[in-house]
Structure 1
Amino acid sequence: MANEEKDLRGLAGRIYDLDEEVYRELGSSLGRVFNGKKADCIEETVRMMHERNEAHILRNELALISNMARTIPDDESRRRIMRKYDAILKEVTELPTSFIKGDILDQKMAQLNALNLSSRFSDSDHLIICIGRTYGCGGSEIGFTLADTLKINYYDVEIFDEVLKRLEAEKSTVHDRGGYPYKKNGKDERQYLNEIPAFAPAPKSTLKEKFREFNRYHGLPKKDAVFFNQSDLLCDMAKREDFVVMGRCADAILTNNRIPHISIFITAPLEQRIHRVMEVRKVENEKKARHLLTRLDKAHIKYYKYYTGRNWGKARNYDLCINSASYGIQGSVDLIMRMISQEK
């Protein structure tokens, strides 16, 4: 047991050191994920390695490091650092509490898969994969694993928030919590993500805060200003890099701006999703998990319809719809890879 704990601390230390190395190579604070004391950061990372329901936080920290590492201009340095990253990621995914554990595969459904493709990209277009997903279907894990397999950047609501916050250090803009309320009782608590996942209602603003936001966003409602700002960021990213993006109405935004992309929707039967949420997020009972998923699905439908005019989850809006229970996490990634090999 003592050796296992020592191994975890060693792994956490290597993650911290990798982040520091990326920071040194880039020469910018924008490349730093861990800003606290090394001992404290290692302690927090080890704690997350022990907690299955916090595996997604570690996953996103690794994604931020790899996203920045891929911007290192020197080819040799970038390859050296990415080799270290690959080795670390392999160890992290092999942990019993890894984000990749707890698959969604249903063996009976796995026999029913099929695929049909068409080509659309020119040589000058970047590979952009937009993934919509229902909560509890393993969609985020599929998106992250896909991005890592392709060696391209990965963005979800939490990483988008980090990107937009870092841009604020350089210019005045707005950023979106995307429905993930980090703050609770005035404190910045990431654990709150596990209590109320996506699309939770924002805290009520005071009259003074509303007036300040009115001036800041030029009279637009904050949510609308955030959406337009987010749309601009997505389109700008599409000109510069390949990436996988989770949600954010990215498929509709890119379609409206005539930017080639692959649009995928991932879901699974409700019972499978309930089981996964209870297992991975440690939701106490089936009734609570069912209520949570129903509420989140309704919020997704409302948000997507409001900003896109489309129906969220309807097959006609996507290039590929995947029942992750038919493939599992790695099987879903393999399926998408088959599609990409023919698309590009």
Structure 2
Amino acid sequence: MENQEKYTALANRIYDLDGEVYKCVGSSLGRTFTGKRENTIRTLSMIMYTKPDSHLLRSELALISNMARTIKDKEARSRMMTEYDEILKELESLPNVFGSTDIVDKERVALNLAANREKMSPDDHMVICISRTQGSAGNDIGFELADSLKINYYDVEIFDQVLKRLEAEKDNLKDTENFTDFNKYDRKEHKDIKTRLREFNRYHGLKKSDAVFFNMSDLICELAQKEDCIIMGRCADVILKNNHIPHISLFISAPFSVRAKHIMDVRNMSLAQATRFLKKMDKQHRKYYEFYTGEKWGKPENYDLCINSASYGIKETIDVIQRMLNQQA
């Protein structure tokens, strides 16, 4: 009953505010609430009571506030906006009307460095994982961002270190051909029985590509725990999430036509060649990421921030990312 009385009182204040704003503006657009007072109060109260329809109340309030901001007389505008703010605070204090139930995922927030800069311990590091579509200049953005932040950048270097680790673990140091031609995307390997048996023994029953991935995962975790760095691709976002290591995950992409033009410029390809190349590389990136992570590559909710690099260019994209990083600093 107490809440019902609050709903009715607030509904009356909203109705009166709408009338006062209309008088001050004198707009031909008319009032937000044109029905009879009694019916309008009942409807507004019901919206607050039912809660699932609170977005309707938010829309009505937005109409009133939008109109109030057009009042030319500063004193009247200030009075109307003050009343609006007070009503809004009252509404937000009510249980589950709107704005009182957050969408936050506590587990993701705990790993999101951008949301927890002030809570970072000396053991935490600024680790940025960047996934990107081919031709979106993701690598250029990652490299220049690392240079700007003065932190380490890892791309093919990760693979180099993983291969060296595997190389050192081999029994026969002369047998190097199995590593030099490794293709992380190609899982359809055609090898003779002798080669398969040799790899089976060396990698404890794992396929070479799987052994490389697991060793690479260990290295990524080691890097993230000891230094600030940017890691390009390599499923680093999911690897760190699964190991509960704080990081920021970004996905950089651009429209296909823009990416095709970029590839034509940097690789001196024709449009047909660039198109085939992009489709092939996107397919390989997706196949590799989804096989090893079980997540959807490029799906927005899997990342902290998705950026269309074509809307900004390399320099401005870096600026957007840095602003996100610095907002909590």
1:215 matched to 2:212? The reply is no
Match of 2:268 in 1: 282
Q: Which amino acid aligns with 1:148?
A: D
Match of 2:45 in 1: none
Q: Superposition RMSD on alpha carbons, in Å? A: 2.4
Q: In the aligned structure 2, how far is the partner of 1:273 from the partner of 1:326? A: 12
1:312 matched to 2:297? The reply is yes
Match of 1:137 in 2: 136
1:273 matched to 2:259? The reply is yes
Matches within 5 A, 1:1-344: 118-119=115-116, 122-124=120-122, 125-156=124-155, 158-168=156-166, 171-172=169-170, 183=181, 199=185, 204-283=190-269, 285-344=270-329
Answer with 1 or 2: which has the greater Rg. 2
**Cα displacement string for residues 255-309 of structure 1 (whole angstroms, at most 9, x for unaligned residues):** 00110000000000000000011110122x2122112111221222221111111
Q: Which runs of 5+ in 1 are unaligned?
A: 1-116, 174-180, 185-196
Q: How far does residue 171 in structure 1 lie from its aligned partner after superposition? A: 4.8
Identity among equivalent positions (%) equals: 49
| SS of the residue 1:321 aligns to | strand
Q: In the aligned structure 1, how far is the partner of 2:160 from the partner of 2:212? A: 14
Pick closer, same or farther for the CA change 1:251–1:322 going to 2, 3 Å: same
**Count of equivalent residues:** 207
Q: Which runs of 5+ in 2 are unaligned?
A: 1-113, 172-178
Q: How far does residue 170 in structure 1 lie from its aligned partner after superposition? A: 5.3
Q: In the aligned structure 2, how far is the partner of 1:118 from the partner of 1:250? A: 19
Match of 1:55 in 2: none
Higher relative contact order (CA 8 A, sep 6+): 1
| SS of the residue 1:135 aligns to | coil
Q: How far does residue 331 in structure 1 lie from its aligned partner after superposition? A: 0.8
Q: In the aligned structure 2, how far is the partner of 1:278 from the partner of 1:182? A: 28
- Runs (4+) of structure 1 moved beyond 6 Å? none
Q: In the aligned structure 2, how far is the partner of 1:160 from the partner of 1:337? A: 24
Q: In the aligned structure 1, how far is the partner of 2:317 from the partner of 2:213? A: 29
Q: How far does residue 254 in structure 1 lie from its aligned partner after superposition? A: 0.3
Q: How far does residue 119 in structure 1 lie from its aligned partner after superposition? A: 2.8
Contact 1:119–1:342 under 8 Å retained in 2: no
Normalised to the residue count of structure 2, the TM-score between the two structures is 0.58
Pick closer, same or farther for the CA change 1:169–1:310 going to 2, 3 Å: closer
Contact 2:129–2:250 under 8 Å retained in 1: yes
Q: In the aligned structure 2, how far is the partner of 1:221 from the partner of 1:168? A: 13
Pick closer, same or farther for the CA change 1:297–1:258 going to 2, 3 Å: same
Contact 1:198–1:296 under 8 Å retained in 2: no
Q: In the aligned structure 2, how far is the partner of 1:233 from the partner of 1:222? A: 16
| SS of the residue 2:231 aligns to | strand
Contact 2:137–2:309 under 8 Å retained in 1: yes
Pick closer, same or farther for the CA change 1:221–1:167 going to 2, 3 Å: closer
Q: How far does residue 343 in structure 1 lie from its aligned partner after superposition? A: 4.6
| SS of the residue 2:327 aligns to | helix
| SS of the residue 1:205 aligns to | coil
Normalised to the residue count of structure 1, the TM-score between the two structures is 0.56
Pick closer, same or farther for the CA change 1:204–1:282 going to 2, 3 Å: farther
Q: How far does residue 224 in structure 1 lie from its aligned partner after superposition? A: 1.6
| SS of the residue 1:149 aligns to | helix
Q: In the aligned structure 2, how far is the partner of 1:167 from the partner of 1:254? A: 20
